[in-house]
Chains A and B, each alone.
Chain A
Amino acid sequence: MERARGPRGARRALGRLLEAVLADRAEANAVFDILAVLQAEDPEEIQDAVRACSRLFGALLERGELFVGQLPPEETVMAGSQGANRKYKVWMRHRYQSCCNRLAELLAHPSFQVKELALGTLMKFVQLEGAHPLEKPKWEGSYLFPRQLFKAVVDGLLSPEEDCSLLLSQFCTYLEHDDLRYHAMRAATDAVARVADAHAEVPLAFWNNVFTLLSAVSLPRQESDVASFYVKHAELSDKWKVTHLKEHRKAFQLMWLGFLKHKLPLSLYKKVLVIMHESILPHLAQPSLMIDFLTRAYDVGGAISLLALNGLFILIHEHNLEYPDFYRKLYGLLHPPVFHAKHRARFFHLADLFLSSSHLPAYLVAAFAKRLARLALTAPPEALLMVLPFICNLLRRHPACRVLVHRPRGPELDADPYDPEEEDPAQSRALESSLWELQALQRHYHPEVSKAAGVINQALSMPEASIAPLLELTAFEIFERDLKKKWPEAVPLEFIPPPGLLGRRDDLCAQHFSLR
């Protein structure tokens, strides 16, 4: 009958019920009415009900009118002969429980407003429940946190069915509180393990949700004195795990390792590897545990290998990782698409780092230079502008490799001694070859490229050219640069007038195309 009077009437009715329940224990059965509205169809009504519940149980929690301790089953209490107060509290606690369950279910509601409101309400309950714990402390000053409730929230968020990235981004704003973050990490670890065990084929949506949550967790670099807690505590104890960054790190590590030990889809692999060096490795308690994952990724090949290189580099560089055949694998990574890959800049930055050592054997460097030169025959101009100075830098660092561009009195050859199919740089006979590819690129159509390739005609100057500004160069930037370039005199013009659109008769366009 209230519904007939429209949403406003319904809201007023809810408000009346709410006041009645809060005012008088005798009216407690009105809670069922409120909870019934939670099951409604209309998102508006549900929102009203959620707000009412929020106020109701918020007030009850603050008043301490909910049962504290291990919750006995409802029937036994009702049937038993305890005091009416206790009965009421247990009963009300059961209503609170069912309300929370319903709210967790609402996290999967199709309407985003409902979801958002449910999440907000649940987090409010988490806060209040933390302040007025519903379980008895095991000892004096023990740390109490509504783990059950919070776990339900996290589980609701990491839904295997649908993509919750928007809601997760809402949730991530809470993660700057140390305690929430800690518990979220543990809850996520549990959730991942549970879901992965339960499903034979884990749906992609779940992995995406997990990744969204996991990548949003960022630990502070240093232990700060004042921890920001979501649940207000009267005093903080040193004994609590939550207060230590070390424990956070352990939880973080457990979470990621638990996540990464599963077989992930390729797209997720890439995403993880992209953030690996910045947001994961520095926060791990034991970064070397990532070796397995990274070596596996490095062996996958293609773009994933390129990305794994970065994590591996950090492990090799900072954590003394011994990696056999590293350079051989790096050499294997050089194939034509590398110049077209999205992460070209990162790869060449690292390759530059790896090859910057002056203690590398000459055959290795020569093989790299020759390989890069060979690949340059298929590269677009923006990559060429980067890779040509790269090769020249290699030759500068390793004077023994200069025979590649300067071999006086060498015999004329029938074929290039370099073997492009050979996987081992030592066997590739690159040192016997010359960089004819660069000579070919001196005839490149873009003037800057041909100029860059022409550097090898002279004896190489000593200072290395920095390739850092060239790494991120795009074709569009080259285009803009060409457009902005000033030219001193008038624009030269074609002096042979064209007979038509397709040009002269001997032009290729006129030969192969017609306007009809």
Chain B
Amino acid sequence: MGKARATGARPKAPGARAGARGGRARPNPNPFEVKVNRQKFQVLGRKTRHDVGQPGVSRARAIQKRTQTLLKEYKERDKANVFVDKRFGEYDSSLSAEEKMMRRFALEQQRHHEKRNIYNLNEDEELTHYGQSLADIEKLNDIVDSDSDPEERGTLSAELTAAHFGGGEQPHKRASQQPGPEAERPRSRKELIEELIAKSKQEKRERQAQREDALELTEKLDRDWREIQGLLARRPPQARSTAQEKPQPDAYDRAVRELGFEMKAQPSERMKTEEELAKEEQERLQRLEAERVQRMLGTGEDQDSKAPAHVSADDLNDGFVLDKDDRRLLSYQDGKMNVQEEQNGEASDSGNSEEEKEEEEGEEEAEDSGSSDSHSDLECGEESEEESEQAPRQPPRRREAGRGQEARAAARTELPYTFAAPESSEDLRALLTGRSVEEQLLVVERIQKCHHPSLAAGNKAKLEKLFGFLLEYVGELAAEDPPDLGVIDRLVVPLYNLCQMFPDAASESMRFVLRDAMHEMEGTIEAKGRAAFPGLDVLIYLKIAGLLFPTSDLWHPVVTPALVCLSQLLTKCPVLSLPDAVKGLFVCCVFLDYVSLSQRFIPELVNFLLGVLYMAAPNQPGPGYTLVPPFRPRGKHSELLVVSDEGDVATWQRGSLSLHWASARHTQTETEANHTRLSCLAVCLALVRRCVHLYGALPAFHDLMRPLRALLAQHLAGGRHPHELQELCRSALADMEAQERRYQPLVCERSKPVPLKLFTPRLVKVLEFGKKQGSTKEEQERKRLIHKHRREFKGAVREIRKDNQFLARMQLSEIMERDAERKRRVKQLFNSLAEQEGEWKALKRKKFKK
């Protein structure tokens, strides 16, 4: 019962399965061949693959396959030759006989046309058109194509029409109509056609002759042009003679000119007009400014993924930085092409007028650039001039050459044109010391040019090192007595250029220098709690750091440490002498320049200014302010800046402080010292005013300025100071008063309500039945492979066994066959022998009977 239900439960299963298997099993198998593997339990979701089998069918299939393969091999086991049937589709049952024949024919044709030898170039296959060889047609070059005839375009010649479309009767009709000489001998149609052919051939010949003529003419023209072109390309003889009169241009000039030509020779895009260039420049500056502001606010650090903000898309990545695009570009001026460099080479003007003209042009150009830049108001005319003077990889301006040519030439004759890149700071010092400012700049520039990163592989590292050495050199210059500030001033520009080329290396060496300075200071601070003001070199490093890197960033790898360093200078270094005061004020200026854009708040600076002002006032500590270390209300140096000499007060003129006074070894007379004191006070007051403007918007402004105001009001507004200082003081006080007092109560930003926690279910992969579990993926994969291998192995063994059985069967049947044959033959022999015997006996009997 159960069994019956079990089998009855899936009556359709075999059929469905077979159907699903596709063409391999026949749709309606013989029910007697079907073997059903009964399942004891049905498991939901388990895929059953072997529930139904057809042992008979599969066995038959296996035998058939063996007879086709194994048996064949067995039969051919001792044979060396193989019969291969290469007839196309002979064993392909899907092709019909007709199709087979067609394909065979096509193949044959193809084989007929194939090249016999790929190296045989002459043997072309012949292309045909309507059975005619295309080569022939080309040779004759003329089939009658009426279209090419200009005079009879659109109309077919009558004969032609007649010949082709005339039909049968017309010639006769025409013959009857024209009873002329032709009528005497009416031409046959064949004749007519021959005539036509002859005519057309003649026409064709004429046309060919014409074409050949034209070709010949073109060639001649070409030849002539080439001659003229040669003349054009070369310089006219008289121009060359003027060049010889002029001093022979040396290798450097030639190289530079070549560079200039090179750059100009490959404009990648449409040339831009000046307006477009100016606009682009402005856009670039605007973009950079926007990025700077973003960094200043510290927002969008994540989306700001563009690395060095200044690399344009056209950048060749050769380290060349285009600060200001001053390539000579093709432009039009007053309807004339404004070509400057070409004129140098091609102009046929006389030599003396050339220079004048160039000078004019140069000036014009300078004016142009000035006017085009003026609306970006970030660069002034002088600046661009200076900058272009030292910008790397730039054709030297001929204006300069015109101006100080003799002096320059003299300087250049002494200097070699190539320099080895310095390997140490001593090398660089050896190269630079003893030369004038201009020469030093030139040397640096040439080192830079000789080792441009695009020239050789190691040059990048060399120039990166050059930055560090230059920085060191600048420090040494600053530490000299007196400091060579003029050279430093000029060297800032190459430093800037190098920094633009190698930002990472430059920042690293800058950080190194700062760390050195800080480390030195930290040593004395640890020991004594305070330190002396460092030498001028540290101050100059700090200033240069501010020039090379954007000081307004919220965080910057160089600028932020520099800020901490400045802060240390103002908080840990007591002012003990006049040079210290000058240094301190310089640090204040640098500090304020650092924050001039970002308008950040510097508590130390206000303290320092208070201390310096206190030093300038007679020491009577009053209410309202407290001095902050390193300043002391009483002490040896607490009246450092007080000037008691009336005469010096009267003779003082306001001027800028000299950085030379910051070097301690500089000695001054008493009057000079007094003047310096007053200048310091003036600078200090100016800085106070600057602070007032800078921090006017801070909410705690009045609390911040309270000490300063108290001190100024008590001591400095009146007193014996020069009139100008008193004015300054009063205006600072007035500025402080003018700031409005607004105290808006603080309110926290409302925080967003915290969303409830959502408990999303944790999704775990459902384990499938039958899969090996509880191990890593690799382990599973390994197990799977082992399992598969074992199964395959078993299968192979079984196959081999069955092959052997099959072979044995075959051999047995062979032997049986052979035996049967032999038996049959023996039987036959016996039969015939018996027959013979019988016949012989019969004969014998007959004989005896007879």
Tell whether B728 is near chain A: CB-to-CB under 8 Å: no
B310 touches A378 (CB 8 A): no
Tell whether B561 is near chain A: CB-to-CB under 8 Å: yes
Tell whether B459 is near chain A: CB-to-CB under 8 Å: no
B741 touches A414 (CB 8 A): yes
Residues of A within 8 A of B122 (CB): none
Q: Pick the contact of B564: A340, A446, A491 (CB < 8 A).
A: A446
A440 touches B550 (CB 8 A): no
Tell whether A4 is near chain B: CB-to-CB under 8 Å: no
A490 touches B307 (CB 8 A): yes
B: number of interface residues (CB 8 Å) = 119
A407 touches B747 (CB 8 A): yes
Residues of B within 8 A of A476 (CB): 518, 522, 525, 568
Residues of A within 8 A of B564 (CB): 381, 446, 475, 478-479, 482
Residues of A within 8 A of B66 (CB): none
- Given A407-B745, A407-B746, A490-B307, is A378 in contact with B544 using a C-beta cutoff of 8 Å? no
Q: B590: nearest residue on chain A (CB-CB)?
A: A509
- Given A508-B687, A516-B658, is A443 in contact with B601 using a C-beta cutoff of 8 Å? yes
Q: B566: nearest residue on chain A (CB-CB)?
A: A445
Q: Pick the contact of B305: A380, A447, A478, A489 (CB < 8 A).
A: A489
Residues of B within 8 A of A413 (CB): 743, 745
Instruction: Label chain A's interface by main secondary structure.
Output: loop
Q: A335: nearest residue on chain B (CB-CB)?
A: B626
A483 to B601, CA, bound (A): 22
A443 to B553, CA, bound (A): 13
Tell whether B469 is near chain A: CB-to-CB under 8 Å: no
A445 touches B602 (CB 8 A): yes
Residues of B within 8 A of A487 (CB): 555, 557
- Given A513-B659, A515-B659, is A439 in contact with B593 using a C-beta cutoff of 8 Å? no
A72 to B673, CA, bound (A): 77
A: number of interface residues (CB 8 Å) = 80
Tell whether A83 is near chain B: CB-to-CB under 8 Å: no
Tell whether A111 is near chain B: CB-to-CB under 8 Å: no
The interface stretch among A31-39, A131-139, A290-298, A456-464 is A456-464
Residues of B within 8 A of A384 (CB): 603
Tell whether B511 is near chain A: CB-to-CB under 8 Å: yes
Residues of A within 8 A of B594 (CB): 445
Residues of A within 8 A of B488 (CB): 501
Contact with A along B59-81 (1 / 0, CB 8 A): 00000000000000000000000
B548 touches A494 (CB 8 A): yes
A511 to B588, CA, bound (A): 13
B551 to chain A, nearest CB (A): 8
Tell whether B563 is near chain A: CB-to-CB under 8 Å: yes
A516 to B655, CA, bound (A): 12
A498 touches B743 (CB 8 A): no
B700 touches A503 (CB 8 A): no
Residues of A within 8 A of B561 (CB): 479, 482-483
A408 to B695, CA, bound (A): 26
Tell whether B575 is near chain A: CB-to-CB under 8 Å: no
- Given A475-B568, A515-B485, is A493 in contact with B743 using a C-beta cutoff of 8 Å? no
Contact with A along B701-713 (1 / 0, CB 8 A): 1111000000000
A130 to B599, CA, bound (A): 77
B701 to chain A, nearest CB (A): 8
Tell whether A404 is near chain B: CB-to-CB under 8 Å: yes
Residues of A within 8 A of B293 (CB): none
B557 touches A404 (CB 8 A): no
A445 touches B626 (CB 8 A): no
Residues of B within 8 A of A496 (CB): 378-379
The interface stretch among A61-69, A348-356, A430-438 is A430-438
The interface stretch among B141-149, B253-261, B493-501 is B493-501
Interface residues of A in 117-152 (CB under 8 A from B): none
Interface residues of A in 466-516 (CB under 8 A from B): 474-476, 478-479, 482-483, 485, 487, 489-503, 505, 507-509, 511-516
A377 touches B603 (CB 8 A): yes
Contact with A along B111-133 (1 / 0, CB 8 A): 00000000000000000000000
Q: A415: nearest residue on chain B (CB-CB)?
A: B741
A496 to B564, CA, bound (A): 24
Residues of B within 8 A of A437 (CB): 700, 703
Tell whether B732 is near chain A: CB-to-CB under 8 Å: no
The interface stretch among B173-181, B381-389, B392-400 is B381-389
Contact with B along A248-262 (1 / 0, CB 8 A): 000000000000000
- Given A437-B703, A440-B698, A479-B561, is A379 in contact with B603 using a C-beta cutoff of 8 Å? yes
Known: A339-B628, A377-B704, A495-B292. 7 other contacts (CB 8 A): A337-B626, A436-B746, A479-B568, A493-B548, A495-B309, A495-B550, A497-B493
Ordered by A's residue number, 25 sampled pairs between the chains whose C-beta atoms are within 8 Å are A339-B628, A340-B628, A376-B603, A377-B603, A407-B747, A412-B742, A415-B702, A440-B695, A440-B700, A443-B600, A444-B600, A445-B602, A458-B748, A479-B565, A482-B557, A485-B555, A492-B309, A494-B547, A497-B323, A508-B593, A509-B543, A509-B589, A509-B590, A511-B656, A513-B658
The residues of B with any CB-CB pair to A shorter than 8 Å are 285, 288, 291-292, 295, 298, 304-310, 323, 378-380, 382-383, 386-387, 485-486, 488-490, 492-493, 496-497, 499-500, 503-504, 506-507, 511, 514-515, 518, 522, 525, 529, 540, 543-544, 546-551, 553-558, 560-561, 563-565, 567-568, 571-572, 585-586, 589-590, 592-596, 598-604, 606-607, 623, 626-630, 655-660, 683, 686-687, 690, 695, 698-704, 741-749, 751
